[in-house]
Structure 1
Amino acid sequence: MGRVVLFEMNSQDPERAASFYSTVFGWEIGASSWGYLPVTTGNEDKPGIHGGISKGPSDYPHGIRIQIQVDDIDEAIQNSVDMGAQVVREKMEFDNFYLAYLVDPVGNGIGLIQNK
């Protein structure tokens, strides 16, 4: 079962967005890595998820995507395409995980993430 493990906020002014969410909601904003500001939204003793804020690319300049953790990203991409999704960014490799971006059949942007 794919589980929502992160959210990703895209903005053309990520520092301003980070300042807003930090000030208004008390979110802790971490140091930038690859242009991505990690966000901690609370303690582990309450339900919720963490995420990040980054500068949105031209194909997704602003908005929020959920990141769904999968066991096999290649299989999840293929199953998604078979069900009508479009791949926006093919599987990318990072130090500890793989990541791909898709648009589901009704237009929602999602990310698929597989830990190594």
Structure 2
Amino acid sequence: MPIPACPVVHFELPYRDAARVSTFYQTVFGWQLQPMGPEMGNYILATTSTCDSSAPDALRGSINGGLFPLVPESPLQQPSVVLGVPDVREAMARVSAAGGQVLGEPMAIPGVGDYVVFVDPEGNRLSMLQPLMG
């Protein structure tokens, strides 16, 4: 069975100062930033384009992202991309079989889907997301 192509669906960047990083990306690039609060780990959603809109100025093929608090004692606190996968457990098995390392178990993100971090054989931190259906 062929492996489905898995697109980049999201990006993530670490931050040290939420107000500073929000001001920077809003001022320089016009991003809309939405703090999710402590109940969501102080994650900040970043809307970079109206890619899902039917508006005439919508940028097709663009992705949005998020910013997460830097935790210096945690490994691999670096920018990364999130790949959309149809089945996160099958993709985890493929990562391991191909020489990558899955870090932990999938985390259920309410209203979004199942998310897990992995490291490719070159040491790059990436993530996978199996979106909720519907």
- Out of 64, 68, 83, the residue aligned to residue 54 of structure 1 is 68
Q: Is the 8 A contact 1:18 1:53 kept in 2?
A: no
Give the superposed CA RMSD.
1.5
* Cα gap change, 1:10 to 1:25, in 2 (>3 Å): same
State the partner residue of 1:106: 122
Structure 2 residue runs without a partner (length 5+): 52-57
Give the Cα–Cα distance (whole angstroms) in 2 for the partners of residues 80 and 4 of structure 1: 16
**C-alpha displacement of 1:94:** 2.2
Q: TM-score, normalised by structure 1?
A: 0.89
Q: Which amino acid aligns with 2:102?
A: V
Larger Rg: 2
**C-alpha displacement of 1:5:** 0.5
Normalized per residue, the structure richer in strand is: 1
SS at 2:35 equivalent:
coil
SS at 2:79 equivalent:
strand
Q: TM-score, normalised by structure 2?
A: 0.78
State the partner residue of 2:102: 87
Structure 1 residue runs without a partner (length 5+): none
Count of matched residue pairs: 115
